């Protein structure tokens, strides 16, 4: 969960909802341990797993006490509705009840073993997920975009702010502007200096940058690239 929320929260401060506790946990780890926003997910997971911090561990435990069980509530809506008054304000007993239901009913995605702190994916769900993982990932991405857009209505380009982009290749734009500059001398839009060999020697080689900052438009379209 922390790894999945890392980039949109640390890079763009996207809200995950008023009642969500994940945002504060991600920011705590990011600021306290100065971990980059775009760290590789596998490396990030390794770093987080090796953090020995009482406050971080406490907050992670809080997530563990809720998320694995809340995800399964739609599968046992009838059973939980009948026991609503029994488990009122007693999340621990409610969680134990859900864990017991997962071992008695194959409808749920996974079984919960509270004592050993593990979950076990049910065979039928495992086969379904393996066979349809591309569709499922697309569905999850779409719903995540809708969820974040609703909670961040003034933030543009939400779909492009969920995962860190790969290395951007501006070689085509560089080649284009190099050819244009051969036919007609172009001037730097910031300094007004012409892009000549003499100026390249004095100030460095031709480079391409975004006129409107990439962090806002999140694309490398030619119309927004300037030498």
State pLDDT tens for residues 5-36.
Answer: 999 999 999 999 877 889 999 999 999 999 99
Non-local CB neighbours of 203 within 8 Å, separated by 6+ positions: 193
Q: What pLDDT score was predicted for residue 160? A: 85
Q: What pLDDT score was predicted for residue 166? A: 64
State pLDDT tens for residues 133-190.
Answer: 889 988 999 999 999 999 999 998 898 889 887 666 788 888 888 888 788 878 887 7
Percent pLDDT > 90 in the chain is 49
Task: Please determine, for residue 200, whether its predicted confidence score (pLDDT) is greater than 90.
Answer: no
Q: Which segments of the chain are extended strands (E)?
A: 110-113, 118-121, 209-210, 225-226
Q: How confident is the model at residue 216 (pLDDT cuts 50, 70, 90)?
A: low
Non-local CB neighbours of 169 within 8 Å, separated by 6+ positions: 220
CB 186 within 8 A of CB 227: yes
Placement of tokens 């982009």 in the chain: 165
Between 34 and 204, whose confidence is greater?
A: 34
What's the rounded Cα separation, in Å, for the pair 96 and 75? 15
Q: What pLDDT score was predicted for residue 127? A: 95
Q: How far is CA 220 from CA 12, 40, 213, in A?
A: 19, 22, 10
The residue extents of the domains of the chain are: 2-64+132-161, 67-127, 171-226
Mean pLDDT of the chain: 87
């Amino acid at each position: 969960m922390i790894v999945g929320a890392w980039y949109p929260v640390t890079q763009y401060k996207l809200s995950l909802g008023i009642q969500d506790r994940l945002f504060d946990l991600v920011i705590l780890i990011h600021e306290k341990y100065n971990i980059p926003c775009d760290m590789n997910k596998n490396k990030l997971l390794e770093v987080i797993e090796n953090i020995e911090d009482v406050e971080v561990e406490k907050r992670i435990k809080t997530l563990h006490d809720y998320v694995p069980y809340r995800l399964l509530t739609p599968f046992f809506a009838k059973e939980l509705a009948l026991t609503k008054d029994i488990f009122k304000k007693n999340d621990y007993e409610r969680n134990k009840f859900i864990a017991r239901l997962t071992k008695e009913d194959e409808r749920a995605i996974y079984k919960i073993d509270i004592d050993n702190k593990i979950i076990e994916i049910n065979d039928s769900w495992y086969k379904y997920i393996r066979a349809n993982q591309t569709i499922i990932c697309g569905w999850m991405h779409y719903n995540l975009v809708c969820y974040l857009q609703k909670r961040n209505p003034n933030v543009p380009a939400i779909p492009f702010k969920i995962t860190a982009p790969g290395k951007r290749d501006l070689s085509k734009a560089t080649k284009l502007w190099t050819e244009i500059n051969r036919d007609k001398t172009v001037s730097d839009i910031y300094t007004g200096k012409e892009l000549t060999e003499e100026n390249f020697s004095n100030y460095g080689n031709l480079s391409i940058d975004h006129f409107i900052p990439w962090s806002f438009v999140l694309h490398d379209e030619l119309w927004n690239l300037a030498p």
